[in-house]
Amino acid sequence: MINARIYRSNEGLITSFTLSGHAAFDEYGKDIVCAGASAVTFGAVNAVLSLTNIEPQIDQGGEGGFLQVKLPSNLDGSVSEKVQLLLEGMVVSLQTIERDYGQYISVSDE
């Protein structure tokens, strides 16, 4: 199972997120749950990098199955708003996948 954990500040802002595990929906190369979760998260990270010019801390597992992204804590207001909008869109997309494939992916706020 893929576990997506979204970490938030006391104000509800996303500060980091972690995806770990494998969906095991189908064999490698045919696993649509894994492909969907990967596309959503990597697309969001790429959008943050490209559209906001910030440098989050990104850690990936060598064999896949792990992605951790931590945002800088000193973002100014307008950049923070953009980052939050992009990452909240990612969360909505992950929750949509979870709604249809909940036995293969779990999304939680921490």
DSSP string spanning 14-58?
EEEEEEES---SSSTT--HHHHHHHHHHHHHHHHHHHHH----EE
Confidence at residue 29, expressed as pLDDT on a 0 to 100 scale: 83
In CATH, 2-109 is 3.30.70.1490 = yes
Annotated catalytic residue within 1, 20, 22, 80: 22
Residue 57 appears among annotated catalytic residues: no
Q: Which residue in the list 4, 6, 34, 105 is annotated as catalytic?
A: 34
Q: Whole-angstrom Cα distance, residue 73 to residue 65?
A: 26
What is the C-alpha to C-alpha distance for residues 92 and 82, in angstroms, rounded to an integer? 16
69 touches 52 (CB < 8 A) = no
What pLDDT was estimated at residue 6?
98
- Catalytic (active site) residue 91: no
Instruction: Give the pLDDT of residue 58.
Output: 96
Ranges under pLDDT 50 in the chain = none
- Exposed/middle/buried for residue 99 (C-beta within 10 Å: 0-12, 13-18, 19+): exposed
